[in-house]
Amino acid sequence: METMEKIEQILKGWYIEGDEFPVKPFGKYINVIIIRRTQSETVFRTDEGLSIEIVKAGYIDNNEISRVSITKRKIISSERRNGREFLTQNNLKEDTCIINQNMCGKCMDCTVYGFAAGEKNSESSGALKSRVITEEAFSILPYEEITDVRTFNALSELGTMNELTQKKKNETGKKFEMRQSLGETEYVKPEVDFIDIETFKDLRLPEIIYVMGNILRTKRYGAITTRMGKIKNDIVAVVVSDCEIFSTLELTKMVWDKLENKKHILDENIVVPKMIESIEELSEEQFGNLKLIKNEELKVLINEIKKLYTEKTDELVKLFKGVKSIFD
């Protein structure tokens, strides 16, 4: 069976068929449930501290705890940039299409993630809401357990905190002054787990492949991505449905209740099975038709998408070119 046939078979009935842009809502939801594990120190905001929410620890554990959250803007902006790089590399996007400035409204990025009303003399007219629905990703463990503070120093050309300064009149010899520290920055420690859900609403098959590719190919998030911010994304399960499902926070709380060890570093071989258990239980509470894609079926789906990006790039580019925008 060919790659596309395998993907179609797994997701059959839950994506928009054909090339035309879906103008009216069809209520086809693909909920991608992700565990994001930091692989280095990660700073999510440079101007302020980390984003922290006081919430209930779980459903059984009714105590309040502080959890670190990653805002949807930080998540989607990184994945979107990654996708746009792929489009640029393969001539699938005009150079004039620039986020928040002059969006074309026709490329895969604009079609999936949406675009704002065009400025004067811009290529796009009107606006389009994103069909990738997101919310905050929450840490499983409390803020106090997974964060630390680092002091950043500004070294002089001498490689020290001493700086050669201008001498006053009549002074002899070299004059040195001690530089001041730049300040402190809160960061998330390596090997911290965040639970997240991205929901695709009414996407066509090539668009699903594109967004899932962006999730799996994006490796850096946060405010300082040149020196830190490495994150590994693993898709734990996919829930296809005719309605929106449970929230990221609901899933995080249920996983918390199921864990015996609640100290950093969590064992991902324990966390992932507990996530799947929680997904199954929460799915039973939803008012709608749902199908859970997990384990071997999920592996096949991810492997076939990987093949398109690694071994069958020409086929993937051709697939993306055939997707019509709202203006076509």
Nearest CA-CA partner of 27 in 44, 15, 18, 39: 15
DSSP 11-64: HTTSSB-SSS---S----EEEEEEEEEESS-B-S-SSS---EEEEES-SS---E
CA–CA distance, 128 with 118 (Å, rounded to integer)? 11
The dihedrals phi and psi of 286, each to the nearest 5 degrees, come to -80, 145
Q: Residue 151: what pLDDT?
A: 74
Over its C-alpha atoms, the chain yields an Rg (Å, rounded) of 23
- Tokens describing residue 184: 């402190």
**DSSP character for 217?**
H
- How many of the other CB atoms lie within 10 Å of CB of 68? 25
Segments of the chain with pLDDT less than 50: 120-121, 156, 158-159, 161, 164
Cis geometry, peptide bond prior to residue 133 (ω within 30 degrees of 0): no
Q: Residue 120: what pLDDT?
A: 45
Q: Are 222 and 74 in contact (CB under 8 A)?
A: yes
Q: Are 150 and 41 in contact (CB under 8 A)?
A: yes
- How many of the other CB atoms lie within 10 Å of CB of 82? 17
At which residue do the structure tokens 């969006």 appear? Answer: 103
pTM for the predicted model, two decimal places: 0.88
Q: Residue 328: what pLDDT?
A: 82
Length of the chain: 328
